[in-house]
Structure 1
Amino acid sequence: MFKRSTIQKSLFVVALSFCAVSTSFASNWQLKVGGSLLAPASNNGTLAGAKADVSYEYNLTPSVEYFFGDSPFSAELLLAVAPFKHDIKLDGAEAATFKHLPPTITAKYHLKNSTRFTPYIGVGLTVAVPWDEKLRGSNSKLEADVTYGVAGQLGFNFQPADAKNWGVFADVRYAQVESDVKLDGKDIGTLEVNPLVYTLGYSYKF
């Protein structure tokens, strides 16, 4: 199994490669900066026989998008400026915390029309890389596995009439995030976060 540091470095290299915009293709790229609310599903599974609840969290989430020529298709990579940090309650009591980065890539279809309002839909893959897992009041080792899952996206971009490159966007993503959790090396259950991610922000197309 890959070490977390190796996975994190690989994800960083992928992100840098994706963001490397060549001059000849600059007009195909769009940068987006938004604020996101990560809202876990209402049922987050059980750990050690107790009902788990994961906290809602906010973060700044830049993304980079590549448009394939004049076609309605694009690919977008969502990142975060800092890790999301969540609290976990077990049967209603504060029990643990963890951090994670959620890089998510989606292939998108834009419903182009004669207006400056452009809806889009997308489907893709998400990767959740957890670390710094801590069990409150205990020195036991808590560890969550890196997890991969499907992702979906629905949203729109709006460009005001007096804006040449700038626009505003809003979208919602679903991410399948279900991580197996170990306590001192022993499996204690699966944390089912499976969040909706609501994002609102600005876009700039080169």
Structure 2
Amino acid sequence: MILSKVLIGRFGDILARFRVINVNPDVSADNTLSAIHTDVKSDTVPELDFTYMITNNIGAELILGTSRHEVTTSLGSLGKVSVLPPTLTLQYHFAPEATFRPYVGVGVNYTRFYSNGLKVGSTAVDIDQNSWGLAAQVGADVAISKNLFLNFDVKKIDIKTKARAAGLGELGTLKINPWVYGIGIGTKF
């Protein structure tokens, strides 16, 4: 079925998407964290986002999702920690009347670390700080009816934090900087 002149989102519309995302960290570390080859495993989770269309081409997207990641080292697993990274992007949507509507976006995220279960042996590893960072995205909405569309999205998000352990002091800075790959379905209001 070919749809023509379908406005997936136009001025004043709210787009709601439900996606399944894979959060795939691109890890780097310094100090002790680097020396013990610290890594952060990926996680696949549901995600919800809302885009308010400021014009037919410009939208503001708020991304809501949380993931839990295992942190590993050459010494073994340190345990798991959860992250909540709400991200706000300003998007430019190309071809507002097309069936295939690509977009690009840039924005900011704030990542909160919680449910920290990280340990070195019996010593707890504390996450010292939450994180502010930049975000970039590229994606596309593909109309399947007047009010429904498929969505494909890739984001790069800057996330970093510091870790320390009692008796060991600061372990270093951990840059998680994930690629986030998403596929889902959306509707407009």
The answer to whether the superposition gives a TM-score over 0.5 is yes
User: What residue ranges of structure 1 are gaps of 5+ in the alignment?
Assistant: 1-25
Matched residue, 2:156: 174
> Which residues of 2 match residues 113-152 of structure 1 at below 5 A?
114-136=97-119, 138-144=121-127, 145-152=129-136
Separation in 2, partners of 1:64, 1:143: 33
Separation in 2, partners of 1:47, 1:88: 16
Matched residue, 1:30: 15
Deviation by residue 1:175-203 (Cα, 9 ceiling, x = unmatched): 00111112128311011110000000011
Instruction: Give the aligned length.
Output: 176
Amino acid aligned to 1:182: R
Separation in 1, partners of 2:155, 2:120: 35
Matched residue, 2:94: 111
Secondary structure in structure 2 of the residue aligned to 1:133: coil
- Distance change in 2, residues 1:27/1:68 (3 Å): closer
Amino acid aligned to 2:188: K
Amino acid aligned to 1:157: D
Amino acid aligned to 1:184: A
Find out whether 1:52 has 2:34 as its counterpart. Answer: no
TM-superposed CA distance for 1:46, in Å, is 4.2
Quick check: which one's strand share is greater?
2
Deviation by residue 1:72-119 (Cα, 9 ceiling, x = unmatched): 100000101xx3111111126212321111111100001115521000
Quick check: which one's helix share is greater?
1
TM-superposed CA distance for 1:170, in Å, is 0.2
Matched residue, 1:39: 24
TM-superposed CA distance for 1:166, in Å, is 0.6
CA RMSD of aligned residues (A): 2.1
Q: Give the TM-score of the pair, scaled to structure 1.
A: 0.79
Find out whether 1:156 has 2:133 as its counterpart. Answer: no
Separation in 1, partners of 2:36, 2:108: 29
Separation in 2, partners of 1:127, 1:39: 17
User: What residue ranges of structure 2 are gaps of 5+ in the alignment?
Assistant: 1-10
TM-superposed CA distance for 1:146, in Å, is 0.2
Amino acid aligned to 2:25: P
CA contact (8 A) 2:105 2:138 kept: yes
Deviation by residue 1:17-51 (Cα, 9 ceiling, x = unmatched): xxxxxxxxx9521111000000111x431462311
Say which structure, 1 or 2, has more relative contact order (CA 8 Å, 6+ apart): 2
